[in-house]
Amino acid sequence: ALVTTKEMFKKALTEDYAVGAFNVNNMEIIQGIVEAAQEESAPLILQVSAGARKYANPTYLVKLVEAAIIDTGLDIVLHLDHGADFDICKKCVDDGFTSVMIDGSKHPFEENIKLTKQVVEYAHSKGVSVEAELGKLAGVEDDVKVSARNATFTVPEEAAEFVEKTGVDSLAIAIGTSHGAYKFKGEPYLDFERLKEIHKLIPDTPLVLHGASTVLPEFVSKCNEYGGNIPGAQGVPEDMIKTATKYGICKVNIDTDLRLAMTAEIRKHFAEHPEDFDPRKYLGPARDAIKGMVQHKIKNVLNASNKK
Ligand code: G3H
Ligand code: 13P
Ligand code: ZN
């Protein structure tokens, strides 16, 4: 069934694993992810960004996710990723999403609270979960000074006050990750002391890690080998994701790894089969590549196999 995050996060929080939240934009991406979750009997969050809504038309995505549930019998959360204002959150609640993110992280603290509260009030009245964000995910480098960290990373005391005042169900925090394929210039660094402190202050609040793709080297080199040009791409090492799940991280957001897995496979297919022009010939293997990557994450990184 289409479920909220409530029970999913409660279990993840007590058992030290995390639920994978994967961004979806079309049928093959949804199918690859869902097949992996089904084989692993894993809890699953499928998330849709504003860009995905624009690309695919929200109705298509909602109906594809419904089809996946009919087909597999899985419990799936349909979540809005990075809702920028009340309006888009309301639209998604009304469209049948079971969870929405209001990302007020670019606003001053008090405004973020006000906006988040407004979304919580509406979403909760319809039985929908809400994720909010505090702190900024920017292009953080390995040599960030402590003062800069304090300016962008989540301040633990503020996180506690924020959750208390908004009644939000889960909180995305900033501890050094960023979106995309270029997360670190030098050695990867995440501020685990800060994460521990946040988790200590709000132990019952499920925390969310955005920008959590590993940018798996096998896919980067495969892209580059078959005509791509993405040098120096680097993500969050798998061990760091595992560590994060021990300190309250219940939701791990992954988009870039899906993009890379899919693109690597399609590049390889075109290079090896220039005669092909039937989309099924390359989208099929791309779907399989997504499935394999997601299954690996669920099993070996998130520790979420057999937790559905
Ligand atoms: O938060 C970023 C996600 O990867 C979604 O990306 O806005 O290009 O769909 P997008
Ligand atoms: P990645 O770019 O690391 O996949 O992060 C995705 C994300 O945080 C979506 O909200
Ligand atoms: Zn994000």
- Each residue of 145-192: pLDDT tens digit? 666 777 799 999 999 999 999 999 999 999 999 999 999 989 999 999
Cα separation, 157 vs 152, whole angstroms: 14
- Pocket test residue of 256, 258, 260, 302 for ligand 2, highest count of atoms within 8 A of CB: 256
Cα separation, 162 vs 133, whole angstroms: 10
Instruction: Give me the pLDDT at residue 139, please.
Output: 58
Cα separation, 232 vs 256, whole angstroms: 14
Upper half-sphere CA count for residue 292 (Cβ side, 13 Å): 13
Asked if pLDDT for residue 112 goes beyond 80, the answer is yes
Pairing mode, strands 170-173 and 19-23: unpaired
Instruction: Give me the pLDDT at residue 140, please.
Output: 47
User: pLDDT tens-digit profile of 3-49?
Assistant: 999 999 999 999 999 999 999 999 999 999 999 999 999 999 999 99
Instruction: Give me the pLDDT at residue 137, please.
Output: 86
Instruction: Give me the pLDDT at residue 44, please.
Output: 98
Its pTM stands at 0.97
CATH number of 6-301: 3.20.20.70
Instruction: Give me the pLDDT at residue 147, please.
Output: 66
* Domain boundaries of the chain, sorted by first residue: 6-301
Of the pLDDT bands very low, low, confident and very high (cuts 50, 70, 90), residue 288 is very high
Pairing mode, strands 129-134 and 249-254: unpaired
- Ligand that comes closest to the CA of residue 79: 2
81 is annotated as an active-site residue: yes
Instruction: Give me the pLDDT at residue 267, please.
Output: 98
Q: How far is the CA of 86 from the centre of ligand 1 (A)?
A: 19
Q: What is the mean pLDDT of the chain?
A: 96
Instruction: Give me the pLDDT at residue 144, please.
Output: 55
